[in-house]
Amino acid sequence: MVDAGTGRPMRADARRSYDRILKAADAAIARDGATTSLEEIARNAGVGSATLHRHFPSRRALLNAVFHDRIEGICAQAHRLIDAPDAGVALIDWLGELCRYSAKTRGLAPALLQWAGDDRPLVQDSSCHSMLHDAGDRLLRRAREAGQVRPEVSIDDLLTLVNAISLVTEANSAAIVVDDEADRLFAIAVEGIRPATN
Amino acid sequence: MVDAGTGRPMRADARRSYDRILKAADAAIARDGATTSLEEIARNAGVGSATLHRHFPSRRALLNAVFHDRIEGICAQAHRLIDAPDAGVALIDWLGELCRYSAKTRGLAPALLQWAGDDRPLVQDSSCHSMLHDAGDRLLRRAREAGQVRPEVSIDDLLTLVNAISLVTEANSAAIVVDDEADRLFAIAVEGIRPATN
DNA sequence: ACCTGAACACCGTTCAAGT
DNA sequence: ACCTGAACACCGTTCAAGT
């Protein structure tokens, strides 16, 4: 493990703090969502609040770290689908998986928003959002070349749409809501509301 | 103006407080969104914070009051469209208007979420959400009877989808985002991403 | 009946002081 | 180099005391 700022290896105690914060954050976010108390995370990690802030200068940085591995797994799935027989189906399947997963994982949808906070200009970063963007773009390009997708639809459009559905599903999740709400909305969003033409 | 709790007319000073809070809330929400500080609203209204809490027991109650008139206007528009020549187009037009308006009005999308907070079971209430539900349902039924909409699509599906798009657009609005993002997403969501079949 | 100001228990962020 | 605890300026909510 390497310090993000200096690029040098982390001291043992720093590494230990980092790991404990990440573990506590994971549990807290799963329970209370993306706006959970950072102070409580530090408390549960047995760490001073200032330590949390040095390791993760913003809430967004913490969210990105928490979800990094899982998002990497989803991107790997996109890589596997790049050889699927039907390029259009592969794209839809992957987006649907992302949507379902994101809708049921508290905190993930908010983490994927393209905030213009105090973060760097998102050029060539390794945030969850840009990882998904790159992985999805390959599937989209192939589907577009196969004539399966309207040429004016961008990967940003599709990811934002999926994110929108996940966001509203998570926000509504305390209400009386069918648990496949994300599935229903995704199907409508992708297929249109007109009667099927077959 | 009538007190929501007792149903009796409000005393003059209560009415004055109510109006000043609403005016201050409107400005604050337009500037900072639905999570703006209630305390600051009370300060700007020249009112004690406890006064705000009695008039509006929850943040949601305040949001509903702030947007009530505007939502009523949009519902009136739905009523006018009920006689439009093409029932399917009327539905899409109305949803598109709602989407555009909601996306550009800070705080409105969050106010329309179907939270299950400490609020009553939403039976026959006059919240913004239920007003839109009733108005939209008429347009949808007519479009469905005309065979313009798949029978399994509900008004909740459509309103939630529109709300999802508005929500993500508002959340992204500080980022580098084309200002017609809501339009693009709405078009995709409603028309599907497959090539046009004409 | 309505409003006020203070009290309470929380936040996130920062900074001097410790090891 | 890294961590800690305290300090600071904020929240939302509640309640006794005022008019």
In DSSP notation, B66-111 reads HHHHHHHHHHHHHHHHTT-S-HHHHHHHHHHHHHHHHHHSTTHHHH
Summarize the confidence of residues A84-113 as an average pLDDT.
94
Least confident range from A137-141, B80-84, B155-159, B188-192: namely B188-192
Inspect the interface and report whether the beta carbons of B175 and A150 lie closer than 8 Å.
Answer: no
Confidence of residue B119 (pLDDT cuts 50, 70, 90): very low
Determine the number of helices (DSSP H) and then strands (DSSP E) in chain A: 9, 0
The beta-carbon neighbor of B116 closest among A149, A163, A176 is: A176
pLDDT tens digits, B44-88? 999 999 999 999 999 999 999 999 999 999 999 999 999 999 999
Side chain identity at residue B166, one-letter code = S
- Name every chain B residue with its beta carbon within 8 A of the beta carbon of A163: 168
Inspect the interface and report whether the beta carbons of A113 and B171 lie closer than 8 Å.
Answer: yes
Judged against a pLDDT cut of 80, whether residue B110 lies above it is answered with yes
Summarize the confidence of residues B30-55 as an average pLDDT.
95
Distance from C-alpha of B161 to C-alpha of B169, rounded to nearest angstrom: 12
Summarize the confidence of residues B8-36 as an average pLDDT.
91
Confidence of residue B124 (pLDDT cuts 50, 70, 90): very low
Nearest Cα to Cα of residue B99 among B14, B158, B48, B40: B158
Summarize the confidence of residues A43-56 as an average pLDDT.
95
Residue of A59, A180, A188 to mutate, interface with B, max B Cβ within 10 Å? A188
Those residues whose C-beta lies under 8 Å from the C-beta of residue B124, and which sit 6 or more positions away, are B130
Summarize the confidence of residues A145-167 as an average pLDDT.
92
Distance from CA of A182 to the nearest CA of B (A): 10
As a whole number, the mean pLDDT across chain B is 86
Judged against a pLDDT cut of 70, whether residue A54 lies above it is answered with yes
As a whole number, the mean pLDDT across chain A is 87
Between the alpha carbon of residue A111 and those of residues A21, A58, A106, B99, the distances in Å are: 17, 12, 10, 23
Judged against a pLDDT cut of 50, whether residue A144 lies above it is answered with yes
Q: Compare all CA atoms of chain A with the CA of B149 and give the residue at the minimum distance.
A: A194
CB B161 within 8 A of CB A172: no
Instruction: Compare A64 and A172 and report the one with higher pLDDT.
Output: A64
Entry pTM? 0.89
* C14 nearest neighbour residue (CA to C1'): A50
Q: Compare all CA atoms of chain A with the CA of B92 and give the residue at the minimum distance.
A: A193
pLDDT at B116: 55
**CA–C1' gap, B50 and D14, in angstroms:** 8
pLDDT tens digits, B159-176? 999 999 999 999 887 655
Distance from C-alpha of A105 to C-alpha of B170, rounded to nearest angstrom: 21
Footprint of strand D on the protein (CB under 7 A): A 3, 6, 10-11, 13-14, 16-18, 46-51, 54-55; B 37-40, 49-50, 53, 58-59
* C15 nearest neighbour residue (CA to C1'): A50
Locus of tokens 């966001």: A167
pLDDT at A124: 46
Summarize the confidence of residues B26-45 as an average pLDDT.
95
CB A47 within 8 A of CB A124: no
pLDDT at B117: 47
Inspect the interface and report whether the beta carbons of A116 and B175 lie closer than 8 Å.
Answer: yes
Q: Which nucleotides of C are covered by protein (CB under 7 A)?
A: 1-7, 10-16
Confidence of residue A14 (pLDDT cuts 50, 70, 90): confident
3-state secondary structure of B147: coil
Q: Which nucleotide is nearest to A6 (CA to C1')?
A: D1
Inspect the interface and report whether the beta carbons of B160 and A168 lie closer than 8 Å.
Answer: yes
Inspect the interface and report whether the beta carbons of B185 and A160 lie closer than 8 Å.
Answer: yes
